[in-house]
């Protein structure tokens, strides 16, 4: 995990890493087929991740869950839209990579850094209460 976007939760950080790795694969692709395969993996990773992250937020009583969920839905819709472009014959490999890049930059910058980062104090609080439960301390 890149320290700058780590929220301190191993599973959620791992999800973010895998999504970024799929994006890097997409950026390194040489053909539209390879780019589409990387984008499909990214979409699958994102769907699983959004569900896990929302489950964590519900568990720890995150107050902004509804808005965060709506942002995930928007992001998934934008991803589906970009994934459809090559199927509709709109643009080639380069256009697809550019469309995915602008979506991922918006996602990485605006969402992980601006929104997911707000979960870090809840991750720390949960880790603290787990430790206290394990040691029997209050």
Q: Which residues bind Fe ion (CB under 5 A)?
A: 53, 116
Measured from the CB atom, the residue of 36 and 111 that comes closer to Fe ion is 111
Least separation, in Å, of the C-beta of 16 and Fe ion? 6
**CA 80, 82, 83: angle at the middle one, nearest 5?**
60
Q: Which residue has the closest beta carbon to Fe ion? A: 116
Least separation, in Å, of the C-beta of 131 and Fe ion? 24
Least separation, in Å, of the C-beta of 47 and Fe ion? 12
Q: How far apart are the first and last CA of the chain?
A: 31
Cα atoms in the Cβ-side hemisphere of radius 13 Å centred on 54: 15
Measured from the CB atom, the residue of 36 and 119 that comes closer to Fe ion is 119
1, 13 in Cβ contact below 8 A?
yes
CA 46 to chain centre: 5
Q: In whole angstroms, what is the distance from residue 106 CA to residue 92 CA?
A: 22
Measured from the CB atom, the residue of 39 and 119 that comes closer to Fe ion is 119
Measured from the CB atom, the residue of 45 and 53 that comes closer to Fe ion is 53
Least separation, in Å, of the C-beta of 13 and Fe ion? 9
7, 117 in Cβ contact below 8 A?
yes
């Amino acid at each position: 995990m890149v320290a700058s976007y780590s929220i301190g939760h191993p599973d959620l950080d791992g999800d973010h890493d895998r999504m970024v790795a799929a994006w890097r694969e997409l950026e390194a692709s040489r053909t539209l087929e390879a780019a589409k395969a990387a984008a499909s993996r990214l979409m699958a990773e994102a769907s699983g991740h959004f569900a896990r992250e929302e489950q964590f937020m519900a568990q720890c009583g995150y107050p902004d869950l509804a808005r965060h969920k709506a942002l995930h839905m928007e992001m998934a819709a934008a991803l589906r839209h970009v994934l459809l472009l090559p199927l509709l014959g709109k643009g080639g490999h380069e256009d697809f990579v550019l469309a995915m890049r602008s979506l991922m930059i918006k996602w990485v910058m605006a969402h992980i850094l601006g929104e997911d980062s707000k979960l870090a104090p809840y991750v720390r609080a949960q880790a603290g209460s787990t430790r206290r439960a394990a040691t029997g301390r209050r």
